[in-house]
Amino acid sequence: MTSDSVSVILQHTVRCANEGSWTSLESPFRLGPLDQLVAPSVPIAVVFVYAPSPDVELIPVERLERSLTLLLDYYPHLTGRLQINPSDGTPEISRLGTGAELFVARCSERLDRLDHIELPNLPGAGNALLAPFDPSLEGVCRDPIFTVQHTRFACGGVALGVRQHHITGDAEGFFQLVNDLAELYRTSSLAHPPHIRSHLSELTPEERAAGLDLKQSEYYVEERPAFTSYPVAAPNTGRFLRFSGSELSALKARATDPSSDGWVSTFDALCAHLYQRVYRARLKLRAHDPTLPEMSPPDFLTPVNLRSRIGLPPRYFPNALHCQYTSLSHETLANGPLWQVAKALHDLTRTPSTTSKEEVDRTYRWVAAQPEKRKIKQGFRYGSGLLMLSQWNKMDMYAGSVFDVAPVLVAPPFTPISLLDGLGYFIPTREQGDDIDVALSLSEPVWEFFDKDAAKQSTLVKYYLVTYNVLSTLGWSWVLILTLVHVFNLDGKSATIQPTTTSAFSRIITSLPFVHAERIYPSYVEYRLPHVLQPIYRRATTTYWRVGTVTAFVQSCAILEVVHVLLGWVASRLYAIWGVTEPFPPVCSNPLYTTMVFAWSATEVVRYSFYASTLLGHEPKQLLYLRYTLFYVLYPLGASSEAFLNYATLPTSSPVPSWLSWAQGMWKPTDYIRGLLFLIWWPGLYIMYTHMIVQRRKVLGPGKGAKAN
């Protein structure tokens, strides 16, 4: 789709529904120090796309305009205009009540003709769906702070292009604003009003004077700003990179220090991966073409959300980001292991400057006290070697922006402002599962070497992971088939399977000290069952001798997941095999072994086949549904079977030492460990179960295609 297919037909000035909303504010409306450090010309711009619905006219303009007037009652300062205070260069908002702007546009193209609704396929790669924007200081102070463009496609689909001056709020505040607009579209008031006053914006003259004497290390005042210029090598290009959940898990494993008990987040791992890849691509580009300009220092910057760290009010709208930066050595970035980079980035965002309320307060009181905000500088060096990454993927971009239907796409277009070499955003995918999209802008020639590095690494990794997942699917399928064949005697051979011998694994394990079972509960349950179920129960007590060795082998292969971290129940399952079943042969005749293996194998056939399909570029809807539905039954079945098999290995005596327990058999240290694990099993199951319910809600609904009331 081209930009020419979109034409603006109307422009409305939108003001508060209640004039008293903005007249009650002081003018000029003061911004806080966390706002004042944001460049005035930088906006936040996002496109929300809604596929056509046969049942309803999507987002009528009149209803949207009414919702905007209600929204501005809660955010009345957005009806003003930005101005720079001539005395100290402090940005503030004046001319309150001037209004926001609603643009109404038509697009001659149809969304339903697109194979994939993605920003590159939309008019002007999404830019034509945004209202006009003048980034000059004159334009920023003249034009509205907040604009919305409503574009209706020929098929009836709608795009909302929303833009807000970043200086008035950060990305979390921006999506809160859009979510509030959607709520007011569906209702007539907000259940939870926003907080629009900026932190430290209302200091007294005495407090400002005291702030000048505060010591802090994050910023400095540069009396005569000096600019280091790095020539631009080529135009910049933006791309969207998809990282699957399995790829992210593999990255996270590589990004974890193997010599310690430390941890890194997915954000740390992905940032470290991109930091190294971009740096190496830039090095290779300059090795390929030595005539290119010198690369600036490889500084890395990421904003840290201070809301929860310093106790800002709920639903805080203004900026609450503190930018942390660092620069790693050439040796670490070019040749070091990923975990070294990830550890540095992990520590970067967890220093006292972002975790100590007192230190944050001291820093920004100092900023608020400075008489000339234009002279405040930070040590981050801009240029051709930088990388700046922001985490948007944890924000409520999809579920909260439901108008008549849920959006099929929410993404920031690459605008002339955001096409900065080394600027990237992590954003959620439409499915809102474990995958992450990265909107990354790089110099055009850098992409060639970035792609070569990716192709060389990812092809081998992809083939390995596909092979592993296919073999795992086949292995667990064989276990599942054997279990069902045995329990239901489908081959007529189940009666010949007798629990008379132990496996080789069991003979090895039980030769170790401190692992012998004291007793196993008798199988008197059989006689209490209906007659028709008794044969099935008896066969369930011999399942181990049919599938035990195969199950132990297949499950033990999951130890490879320490390398590429396709995480499931690896730790507890390996313990159930090697810590319970094999050391205690009587457990093998417990029917719970059958239910445990059935739950494992059914779960893993779906999981591994889903991973294999995803790696091959397909995501079968049936597998997706099964993956996020079967757990309702299989998780409790498998986990409780594991837990009670573990319980069955415990001595019959009391765990509290006494004469009676001495007579019946004292508990050994390993018995206490198994008893503790039995108690831990249940909160662990609860955490895993509720996590999967949340994930199911994100992936399967209610967001997809759900209509608003």
Which residues are part of the catalytic machinery? Answer: 635, 642
Nearest to 78 by CA among 8, 151, 138, 167: 167
String of b and e for 28-66 (b: at least 16 CB within 10 Å)? Answer: bbbbbbbbbbbebbebbbbbbbbbbeeeeebbbeeebeb
| Residue 344 φ/ψ, nearest 5 degrees | -65, -40
How far apart, in Å, do the first and last CA atoms of the chain sit? 33
- Residue pair 153/301 in contact (Cβ under 8 Å)? The answer is no
CA–CA dist 410, 412 (Å, integer)? 7
Nearest to 631 by CA among 688, 555, 570: 688
Q: Which two tokens stand for residue 490?
A: 């489908």
E strand intervals along 375-522: 376-377, 387-391, 409-411, 423-428, 436-443
- SS3 category, 555: helix
Task: Give residues with Cβ within 8 angstroms of 318, minimum separation 6.
Answer: 31, 32, 34, 35, 168, 169, 170, 173, 196, 197, 198, 199
| Residue 658 φ/ψ, nearest 5 degrees | -160, 175
CA 472 → CA 117, 484, 554, 658, distances in Å? 34, 18, 7, 48
CA–CA dist 596, 602 (Å, integer)? 10
| Residue 185 φ/ψ, nearest 5 degrees | -70, -35
CA–CA dist 2, 536 (Å, integer)? 66
- Residue pair 674/650 in contact (Cβ under 8 Å)? The answer is yes
Q: Which two tokens stand for residue 142?
A: 């003249």
- Residue pair 56/707 in contact (Cβ under 8 Å)? The answer is yes
Residue 620, preceding peptide bond in cis (omega within 30° of 0): no
Q: Which two tokens stand for residue 563?
A: 């390398």
- SS3 category, 547: helix
Instruction: Name the strand (E) or helix (H) holding 633.
Output: helix 631-648
- Residue pair 586/520 in contact (Cβ under 8 Å)? The answer is yes
Burial (CB count within 10 angstroms: exposed 0-12, middle 13-18, buried 19+), residue 252:
buried
Instruction: Name the strand (E) or helix (H) holding 550.
Output: helix 544-556
Q: Which two tokens stand for residue 2?
A: 């081209």
CA–CA dist 279, 333 (Å, integer)? 7
Nearest to 201 by CA among 80, 60, 28: 28
Nearest to 655 by CA among 667, 639, 641, 673: 667
| Plot region of 315 (φ>0 → left; ψ -120 to 50 → alpha; else → beta) | left
CA–CA dist 573, 579 (Å, integer)? 9
Task: Give residues with Cβ within 8 angstroms of 60, minimum separation 6.
Answer: none
CA–CA dist 221, 213 (Å, integer)? 13
